[in-house]
Chain A
Amino acid sequence: MIEIKNVSKWFGEFQVLADVNEVVQRGQKVVICGPSGSGKSTLLRCINGLEPYQKGEIVVDGVSLSDPKTNLYKLREKLGMVFQRFELYPHMTVLRNITLAPMKVRKKSRPEAEKKAMELLERVGIPDKAGAYPANLSGGQQQRVAIARALAMEPACMMFDEPTSALDPEMIQEVLEVMIGLAKEGMTMLVVTHEMGFAREVADEIIFMDAGRIVERGRGDDFFKNPKSQRTKDFLGQILK
């Protein structure tokens, strides 16, 4: 589904990504963790064509992002993305937030788009908030709307960039539950998170990044119990304490 081959990226002199290699198969769930500034968000942004990279290649669903003929807009429809700070459109109701892209990009009719949006709101547990504005929702509710908005385009893969790290502790669970639900339905997922409970439960693979490199990769418990590099041990020691 997603192939990342030897990707390097620089911001001016500063190297953010260094020879990153990774393959995400359809249906796989990959969790990325690592210290702040290690390039996790940048990697997701590159996969979505929101940032250019200077070396290597990223192929999504058989389509190369390096190819100048690739229509990035079409490509992004396949990849849903959820951000740390929700990023809902503040001037639109929850329902409009969700129906905008299906109506404008997929040219769905309003009733059709709204029906689908209501199903999604049902699924993330807040159908009663359809008419509310984002500012009147709690953080957890906003993030669930953001997930519904991404799902409305029926993406083949969902990418999450620290979806719970801006949330109060009591709201983290409600968002994780939605994500676990998605995972169980077989969604392909690429998740940047430090929620190690979530990683243990759903991840097929866990990647540890540091200074733009993938330092270590492993499966579930193995990753936590027998980290190979000292850097990973230190990091896990910090977040699992």
Chain B
Amino acid sequence: MDAVLENLPYLLGGFLTNLQLAAFALAGGIFLGTLVGLGRISKRPWVYYPVTLYVNFLRNIPLILVIFWFFFVMPILIGKTLDPFVSAAVSFVVFEATYFGEIFRAGFQSISKDLVSAAYSTGLTYRQTAAYILVPIAVRRMLPSLITQSIITFQDTSLAYVIGLQEMVRRTTIVDGLEVRSVQLYTFVAILFFVICFVGSRISLHYEEKSRKAKVL
């Protein structure tokens, strides 16, 4: 354990970066994903087709490529190198929004046409119906999938090491380069990720059970 203990603050500092990146990715990804989900059920062709193209395109390329591509292409477009964290955060938001978008689409489509008509028939506008009826119901129905996708997003944050972001995996390779203690170092990293993700999946299960029992939805 010596290699881990001696470098603990450095490694945990990297872990903090993972958590921060995940926070940005989730907040941005879920917000944009809600809009993407609404776009995917839109009856307006000029909304539906561009959004669908965006979703299908990004869902068919690996995240690691999106991270790379954004990091190396943006400087050409805007003329200066981006901070790896900013670059990674933007890549994650743009990428994860397509996954969250599809989760929301399924959630919106599980809501009956007559329920939406009922909301409209009381004079609610489209925006109000989306804000008070569609999104809240979709979120409740989709909570387990949302949590699962959030866990995946969190795990994926370590991919940002490819553009030099000082997150935990990156720092572990640096420490390992000096100390050559691969087994204990990577076991430690794996355990940390496991604990966070395991707790997350328990929470997801809990909500699944809860909504089954309450049959509220």
- Tell me if A212 counts as interface (CB < 8 A to partner B): no
- Tell me if B60 counts as interface (CB < 8 A to partner A): no
The one of B120, B128, B132, B216 in contact with A90, judged by C-beta atoms closer than 8 angstroms, is: B216
16 additional A-B residue pairs with CB within 8 Å, beyond A73-B120, A83-B117, A87-B114: A48-B121, A74-B123, A76-B122, A77-B123, A80-B121, A80-B122, A87-B117, A89-B133, A90-B137, A91-B216, A100-B122, A101-B122, A105-B123, A105-B124, A149-B122, A150-B122
Question: Whole-angstrom distance from the CB of B141 to the nearest CB of chain A?
Answer: 10
Question: Whole-angstrom distance from the CB of B151 to the nearest CB of chain A?
Answer: 24
- Tell me if A116 counts as interface (CB < 8 A to partner B): no
18 contacts between A and B (CB under 8 A): A48-B117, A50-B121, A73-B123, A73-B124, A74-B123, A76-B120, A76-B121, A76-B123, A81-B121, A83-B117, A88-B118, A89-B115, A89-B119, A90-B216, A90-B217, A91-B137, A91-B216, A105-B123
Cα A105 to Cα B122 in complex, Å, equals 8
Cα A76 to Cα B121 in complex, Å, equals 5
Scoring B112, B119, B121, B133 by chain A CB atoms within 10 A of each residue's CB, the highest score goes to B121
- Tell me if A85 counts as interface (CB < 8 A to partner B): yes
Contact partners of B216 in chain A: CB under 8 A: 90-91, 133, 135
How many residues belonging to A are interface residues under a CB distance threshold of 8 Å?
29
- Tell me if A79 counts as interface (CB < 8 A to partner B): yes
Contact partners of A146 in chain B: CB under 8 A: 118
How many residues belonging to B are interface residues under a CB distance threshold of 8 Å?
22
Question: Whole-angstrom distance from the CB of A177 to the nearest CB of chain B?
Answer: 22
- Tell me if A45 counts as interface (CB < 8 A to partner B): yes
Across the interface, do A91 and B121 meet the contact criterion of CB distance under 8 Å? no
Question: Whole-angstrom distance from the CB of B54 to the nearest CB of chain A?
Answer: 29
- Tell me if A153 counts as interface (CB < 8 A to partner B): yes
Question: Whole-angstrom distance from the CB of B90 to the nearest CB of chain A?
Answer: 33
Across the interface, do B123 and A83 meet the contact criterion of CB distance under 8 Å? no
Interface residues of A in 55-113 (CB under 8 A from B): 73-74, 76-77, 79-81, 83-85, 87-91, 100-101, 104-105
- Tell me if B109 counts as interface (CB < 8 A to partner A): no
Question: Which residue of A has the minimal Cβ distance to B123?
Answer: A77
Cα A152 to Cα B124 in complex, Å, equals 13
Contact partners of A85 in chain B: CB under 8 A: 112, 114
Contact partners of A73 in chain B: CB under 8 A: 120, 123-125
Question: Whole-angstrom distance from the CB of A80 to the nearest CB of chain B?
Answer: 7
Question: Which residue of A has the minimal Cβ distance to B133?
Answer: A89
Q: A83-B114, A133-B216 are in contact. Are A91 and B140 (CB under 8 A)?
A: yes
Contact partners of A152 in chain B: CB under 8 A: 122
Question: Whole-angstrom distance from the CB of B138 to the nearest CB of chain A?
Answer: 10
Across the interface, do B123 and A81 meet the contact criterion of CB distance under 8 Å? no
Interface residues of B in 99-141 (CB under 8 A from A): 112, 114-115, 117-125, 128, 132-133, 136-137, 140
- Tell me if B44 counts as interface (CB < 8 A to partner A): no
Contact partners of B212 in chain A: CB under 8 A: none
Cα A88 to Cα B123 in complex, Å, equals 15
Across the interface, do B117 and A81 meet the contact criterion of CB distance under 8 Å? yes
Cα A73 to Cα B121 in complex, Å, equals 8
Question: Whole-angstrom distance from the CB of B159 to the nearest CB of chain A?
Answer: 36
Across the interface, do B118 and A101 meet the contact criterion of CB distance under 8 Å? no
Across the interface, do A45 and B140 meet the contact criterion of CB distance under 8 Å? no
Across the interface, do B123 and A87 meet the contact criterion of CB distance under 8 Å? no
Across the interface, do B115 and A101 meet the contact criterion of CB distance under 8 Å? no
Interface residues of B in 31-46 (CB under 8 A from A): none
Question: Whole-angstrom distance from the CB of B137 to the nearest CB of chain A?
Answer: 6
Interface residues of A in 148-207 (CB under 8 A from B): 149-150, 152-153
The one of A76, A87, A133 in contact with B112, judged by C-beta atoms closer than 8 angstroms, is: A87
Scoring A48, A73, A84, A85 by chain B CB atoms within 10 A of each residue's CB, the highest score goes to A73
Across the interface, do B132 and A100 meet the contact criterion of CB distance under 8 Å? yes
